[in-house]
Amino acid sequence: MNEPDLPTPDLRGQTVLVLHAHPDDESIFSGLTLRRLADAGARTILVLATAGELGGSRVPLRPGETVPERRIAELETAAELLGVSRLVLLGGRDSGLPGGPGLAHPRALAAADPLTLARHVAELADDEGAATIVHDDEHGIYGHPDHNAAFRVGALAAELTGATAYRTTVDREHLHTAARDGHLVHGAARAAATPFGRATVEIALAVSGTDAHLEVKRAAITAHASQLGPDDVPLSTFAAAYGYEWYRRTGPAGVLDRLGNAHLVGAPRV
Ligand SMILES: [Zn+2]
């Protein structure tokens, strides 16, 4: 059992823009949040900065199909599962791991002018009336160049629009005790040779979900079948590794806080 007692806020009329670097990040890092926002009646705008062009595919593609085409199709499936109201692709290209050749590509997200992209995101947020923007934290969750870029773009867009910003991260202390080596971020951080996440004390908000929300989150993650399979997110450890989504916040408590904070002071950690 994950969280049996969750607030059920009425968020009709609220719009939240959620920015991520690659298809699958939305499900891994904010799948519960997106689903719960949709359930509460909020409109959610999911913005993907790249199509994950350098992720390869662990399954055979159809003749003529490209990796980004496959990944966008998977993203559309995941977005539907998560109740996303509108999906927008920002048009950057996956930059790959630090030191790799992807960074030299003319459309590499990590080399793009963050202000140009931030203006685009800010315009979207303004058009949609989104007073809340969710984006990677200052460390890019685990330091991948595209996640660092997603931080710069998201933070600038929040500044341009005056939106409350929630900065996506993971609680590395929680993951250390509850899910040692059992979260995809562990392998990703190893591949990028970077530290990851934050200490508990640096995190403002931990969003959790019910067993049903967790089931949806797992289905959304595994919709990205070109990147991972069900064995990569085993049921036995799924709640421990993926049962919370963690955010730092700039500005006063906002829409995401109304989903409830699982880190209640003095409460035993689940
Ligand atoms: Zn990513």
Gap between the Cα atoms of 76 and 96, Å rounded: 22
Q: Which of 3-12, 31-40, 191-200 has the lowest mean pLDDT?
A: 3-12
Give the pLDDT band of residue 266 (cuts 50, 70, 90): very low
Q: For residue 164, what are its two tokens?
A: 């409350």
Q: What is the CA(215)–ligand 1 centre distance, in A?
A: 21
Dump pLDDT digits (tens) for 43-64.
Answer: 999 999 999 999 999 999 999 9
Q: What is the pLDDT of residue 270?
A: 43
CATH number of this structure's domain 15-251: 3.40.50.10320
The predicted pLDDT at position 6 comes to 83
C-alpha 147 to ligand 1 mean position (Å): 6
Given a cut of 80, whether residue 4 has pLDDT beyond it is no
Between the CA of 134 and the centroid of ligand 1 the distance, in Å, is 15
Alpha-carbon span 115 to 210, nearest angstrom: 38
Within 8 A by CB and 6+ apart from 17, the residues are 44, 45, 47, 121, 124, 125, 128, 130, 132, 133, 134, 157, 163
Coil/strand/helix, residue 87: strand
CA of 225 to the centre of ligand 1 (A): 15
- Higher pLDDT, residue 251 or 26: 26
User: In angstroms, what is the span from residue 206 Cα to ligand 1's centroid?
Assistant: 20
pLDDT digits (tens, 9 = 90+) for 118-167: 999 999 999 999 999 999 999 999 999 999 999 999 999 999 999 999 99
pLDDT of residue 2: 57
pLDDT tens readout for residues 74-106: 999 999 999 999 999 999 999 998 888 898 999
Give me the phi and psi of 243, to 5 degrees please: -80, -5
**The token pair that represents 94 in the structure block:** 């996956």
- What is the predicted pLDDT for the residue at 263? 58
Q: Cα of 145 to ligand 1 centre, how many Å?
A: 9
**Which of the pair, 196 or 4, is modelled with greater confidence?**
196
pLDDT tier at 264, thresholds 50, 70, 90: very low
| Residues around the ion ligand 1 (C-beta < 5 A) | 21-22, 25
